């Protein structure tokens, strides 16, 4: 499905059970490249069931803590262990937050990568787009972790914020570091599409507009229609 010059479309799911996940994915599997399983949003975070629901689709497991916009509010060890288990059971990708305590974060990265999963280290800013200096330092911090890829998500209030954030793609490419970066919020919606054609590793879309997991998130159908329109006219 992915063309040679487009990043991956990841369905950011908010389903509470593996059965719900399987049902929703059956309707959009042909429009996505990866499925993100949000363990922190599930009432039944059954890893085997989630992997089965993903089927042939590459899977990305995330267990987002409350301090980074997620729902997991327990012990950090208990948050990290399911991610390692997911890697050991065959997850394609695992997401771990940059702000996770250093020793625990590096232990998670090593364990997941030893199990064969690709680790994405992430940072989300729900308030603003930081200065270029802060963004560049964050990118350097992500690269230093030794993870496979990074994710830097900001909140845009203007086109300037969007330009500032997407500039990171050039720096990441110079370092051969796969980076997902775009902006949340209404002003940032254009970046969720454009990042795919500017060197971004992944963009995230909701399975439907009612289940968006972040402000300004497009639905899979909406993003897919933009991609189809753009690629049709590009030829």
Altogether, the residues listed in the chain come to a count of 235
> 31 catalytic, yes or no?
no
The two tokens of residue 232 are 């049709």
**Of 102, 151, 160, 235, which residue is the catalytic one?**
151
Q: Are 45 and 83 in contact (CB under 8 A)?
A: no
First to last CA, the chain: 16
Q: Are 152 and 182 in contact (CB under 8 A)?
A: no
Strand ranges of the sheet holding 93-97, from the earlier edge strand across to the other edge: 179-184, 149-155, 118-124, 93-97, 59-62, 34-38, 8-12, 202-206
CA–CA gap between residue 174 and residue 169 (Å, rounded): 9
The two tokens of residue 227 are 């991609």
Report how far apart, in Å, the C-alpha atoms of 172 and of each of 4, 35, 54, 134, 139 are.
18, 23, 29, 15, 8
> 71 catalytic, yes or no?
no
**Of 24, 31, 124, 224, which residue is the catalytic one?**
124
How many helices (H) does the chain have, and how many strands (E)? 9, 8
- Positions marked active-site: 124, 151
């Amino acid at each position: 499905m992915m063309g040679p010059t487009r990043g991956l479309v990841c369905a950011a799911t908010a389903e509470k059970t593996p059965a719900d996940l399987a049902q929703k994915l059956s309707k959009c599997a042909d429009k996505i490249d990866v499925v993100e399983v949000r363990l922190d949003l599930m009432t039944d975070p059954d890893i085997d069931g989630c992997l089965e629901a993903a089927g042939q689709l590459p899977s990305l497991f995330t267990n987002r803590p409350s301090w980074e916009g997620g729902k997991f509010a327990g012990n950090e060890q208990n948050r990290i262990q399911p991610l390692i288990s997911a890697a050991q059971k065959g997850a394609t990708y695992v997401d771990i937050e940059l702000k996770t305590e250093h020793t625990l974060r590096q232990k998670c990265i090593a364990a997941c990568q030893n199990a064969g999963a690709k680790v994405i280290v992430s940072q989300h800013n729900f308030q603003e787009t930081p200065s270029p200096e802060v963004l560049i330092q964050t990118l350097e911090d992500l690269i230093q972790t030794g993870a496979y890829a990074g994710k830097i998500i900001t909140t845009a209030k203007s086109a300037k914020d969007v330009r500032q954030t997407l500039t990171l793609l050039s720096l990441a490419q110079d370092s051969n570091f796969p980076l997902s970066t775009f902006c949340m919020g209404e002003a940032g919606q254009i970046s969720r599409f454009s990042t795919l054609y500017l060197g971004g590793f992944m963009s995230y879309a909701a399975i439907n507009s009612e289940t968006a997991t972040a402000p300004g998130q497009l639905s899979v159908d909406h993003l897919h229609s933009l991609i189809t329109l753009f690629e049709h006219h590009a030829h």
